[in-house]
Structure 1
Amino acid sequence: MFINITASETGSNKASSAGLVNYLEKENRNTQNMAEHENWFNWNRDDIRPHEVRIGIDSNVAKLGKDDSKFFLINISPSQKELAHLTFVYGEEGAKEKLKGFAVKVMDEYAKNFKRDNISGHKDLLWFGKLENHRYYGHNEKEVRNGTRQRGERKDGQQMHIQIIVSRKDITNTIKLSPQNTSRGRNTSHSRKMGQFDRTAFKQSGETLFDQVFGFERGLKERMHYANMMKNGTMEQKAQMHALGNFMERYPKLHESHVTDNLMANIHHEKYPDVGSMLSSIAGGAWGLFDMLLEPVFDASGAQQTVAGEEERKRRRRKKGQGLKR
């Protein structure tokens, strides 16, 4: 599950939303059959017209200056595997409706993340969603740069996703809400007043919500926390994650969400000094894996060696890239 927040796909978000609304109508313009057009929606309507979106967003800007952000764009993009799960369970049309319903729940999480009085759910926000069925190659993607694809060409596979335009001001046009405010200052009361926003927590909430709502079993390497750990963790944390991934392939019981969550939390908080102690903790835990101790000893050093090798390859690629730039 990929969720991100940007200013706009068409440039600035400090003026009218007209450009962005028009951009998000691209699929409808390219579809002759009106029955296949996707309408804008929110929590109580699914027949909203583009001009209603523009007028709604552009009118909800009380006390915002010309250099202030007026709206934000939220991109909700399920993975190919997540989309396949939705389609298998609900069918193609059913999956669309379920994804729209999921977007409403995501906006609940967006609202709660501000931790502001009177802002507790999607009804407290002014927002409009648009389901898109396809994605297209951009000029800066490697396939376009190396000539294997053309700019604007449709991408293969299931690409259904949702774009949401949300106003900077709440539904009453009185409270400023900005996901750009990520301050972690000492003045807690001031941060609460300004509506401190935790982007990482918001993105994680989307992943957790999807799993809970749709009964999706997410593999370790499909988790946002795993990706963050493998990108930003210490060498030892990466090695433990790598080893955990190998063991999860051998022991299905480790795929139970609460077990995986506990292990990942322990790795995050550096409760295991090394891979061996992590594996001993698993074997001696309450997960019925005592038989691990009866099998040949796992080479804990292998995980460190694998991660070290990957780190070295990344270092060489960065060095090579820097050389090419010169």
Structure 2
Amino acid sequence: MYISITKQHLNNNFSQSSSDFVDYLEKENEGVLPEMQEPFFNQTTDEIPPEQVIKEIDGNTAKLKKVEPKFYSLTINPSQSELKAINNDPELLKKYVREVMKDYAASFHRDQPVTVDDIKYFAKIEYERTFKGFDREIRENQPYRVQIVRLENDIRKVERGELTGNVVAMHKKIAELKSEIPHKLEGKPIEQGMKKPGFQTHVHIIVSRKDASNRYSLSPGSKYMGSVSKLNGKMVKRGFNRDLFYKRAEKTFDTLFNYKRNFVETYEARKSYLKDPHHYFAHLLGLPTNERSAAFKILGKAGVRVPQVNIPTNKVQMALKTIKQFKKAMDLARSSSSIGI
């Protein structure tokens, strides 16, 4: 599970309104019959039109300054394994989102407990993802594409008389490169913009910065995890505990759907990897054989190339070079959000 929290963009290219973001989330509904479109939903309602989302988010900004974000975006990205566990069922995913938003509310540090009823949010399920430049498939196909484009340009120059060369040989070389290109989808080389195969279902959530009563600020972007400060002469609690939220969100999924989570899928593993990759790798290698095999399989599907070398399991004897190779592969997978690590 990979969950991200992002504040509203407020530079000159973005509107103060939530309309730009809502329009972006409507992209999969373009050209689709009304009865087949995916609507917004919240804690109590399944079908909410985009116009209502904009009106409610934009109208819930009392006393916020122009430079302050009016809303935050949460993105919930279940893994292929997690989606398979719920049969990619949108109703089960909605059920999960509604439970996660309870976890989100409970992660605020306030004098009075925050509940989901205090949160104004709207969620939307999307079913597609496209390949982007940072994806492993695009990066590894790129050297072949560069050669193919260069040859195609040379052929045009030869045909215009600007260059001498054997066009037949150039076409043959292009055919060879196309056959050798490492990543294909239905026989075609994978390019940016192509839809990714398999389950790609994920959820976008737009959450108001202000509580549902439009009186209090509930910012998940606060740098404080949980502290007490003086406000108008009174000591008050403040902050949002992201660490707690991510742990609860993971546990909620596992509990709801009886999901048996592998070590590499856990939030604790993500933290271990970021803070101490040596410890992470040692733990990974120390897993029981079946779990370790499953872990490497999960990583492989996420685009992480596990080093194919004889790696000793003793922590002291671990090869530093191998760990660095593994960390580099993991960083690439994280940058493409292909795995929640």
Q: State the TM-score, normalizing by the size of structure 2.
A: 0.68
Q: 1:228 to 1:120 in 2, by over 3 A?
A: same
Query: Structure 1 pair 67/10, CA: closer, same or farther in 2 (3 Å)?
Result: closer
Is the 1:14–1:66 Cα contact (8 Å) retained in structure 2?
no
Secondary structure of the residue aligned to 2:236 is helix
Query: Per the alignment, in what secondary structure is the counterpart of residue 188 of structure 1?
Result: strand
Within 5 Å, give how 1:73-84 maps onto structure 2: 73-84=73-84
Answer yes or no: is the 8 Å Cα contact 2:228–2:238 preserved in 1: no
Q: Given that residues 137 and 154 in structure 1 are in contact (C-alpha distance below 8 angstroms), is that contact kept between their aligned partners in structure 2?
A: yes
The aligned residue for residue 3 of structure 1 is 3
Partner of 2:272, secondary structure, is helix
Post-superposition CA distance 1:97-151 (Å, at most 9, x none)? 1111111111111111112244532211110000111112335545445255433
Aligned counterparts of 1:84 and 1:316: Cα–Cα separation in 2:
28
Report the alpha carbon displacement of residue 231 of structure 1 after superposing the two structures with TM: 3.0
Offset of residue 300 of structure 1:
5.4
Aligned residues: 261
2:96 to 99, 102, 115: 102
| Mapped partners of 1:162, 1:36: distance in 2 | 17
Name the CA distance, whole Å, in 1 between partners of 2:247 and 2:256: 14
Structure 1 counterpart of 2:212, one-letter code: I
Q: Tell me the SS of whatever aligns to 1:193.
A: strand
> 1:233 aligns to what?
276
Compare 144-153 and 169-178 and name the one that shifted more. 144-153
CA apart distance, 1:224 = 1.9
Specify the SS of the correspondent of 1:61: coil
Q: Deviations over 1:6-55 (max 9, x none)?
A: 12589778711000000000000043x33321110001111100000000
Is 1:207 paired with 2:250? yes
When the two structures are superposed, what TM-score results if normalisation uses the length of structure 1?
0.71
Correspondent of 1:198 among 241, 249, 254: 241
Higher mean Cα deviation, 216-225 or 138-147?
Answer: 138-147
Does the 8 A contact of 2:22 with 2:54 survive in 1?
yes
The letter of the residue matching 1:220 is: F
**Max Rg structure:** 2
Alpha-carbon distance in 2 for matches of 1:159, 1:8: 24
Distance 1:249 1:51, change over 3 A: closer
Q: Which of 245, 248, 252 is the aligned partner of 2:287?
A: 245
**Aligned position for 1:127:** 121
- Structure 1 match to 2:18: 17
Contact 1:3/1:74 (<8 A) preserved? yes
Distance 1:239 1:136 in 2: 31
Matched with 1:60 is 60
| Structure with the higher helix share, 1 or 2 | 1
**Residue of structure 1 equivalent to 2:197:** 156
| Distance (Å, rounded) in 2 between the aligned partners of 1:109 and 1:190 | 27
The unaligned stretches of length 5 or more in structure 1 are: 251-298, 318-326
- Match for 2:30: what amino acid? R
Query: Quick one: structure 1 residues 217 and 152, their matched pair in 2 at CA, closer, same or farther if it must change by over 3 Å?
Result: same
Report the Cα distance in structure 2 between the residues aligned to 1:20 and 1:136, rounded to whole angstroms: 18
Cα displacement (A) at 1:200: 2.3
Q: 1:196 to 1:35 in 2, by over 3 A?
A: same
Which residue of the other structure, out of 171, 185, 188, is the alignment partner of 2:228?
188
Q: Relative contact order: is structure 1 or structure 2 higher (C-alpha 8 Å, sep ≥ 6)?
A: 2
Letter in 2 for 1:244: G
Q: Give 1:175 shift.
A: 0.5
Is contact 2:9-2:69 (8 Å) kept? no
Structure 2 distance, partners of 1:212, 1:74, is 21
> Paired residue for 1:26?
27
- What SS is found at the alignment partner of 1:81? helix
Shift of 1:232: 1.4
SS at match of 1:41: coil
The alignment-based identity, stated in percent, is 32
Deviations 1:262-317 (A, max 9, x none): xxxxxxxxxxxxxxxxxxxxxxxxxxxxxxxxxxxxx752x443463433436899
The residue number in structure 1 matching 2:213 is 172
**Secondary structure of residue in 2 paired with 1:114:** coil
Which one-letter code corresponds to 1:108 in the other structure?
K
- Are residues 307 and 70 of structure 1, via their aligned partners in 2, closer, same or farther at CA, if it must alter by over 3 Å? farther
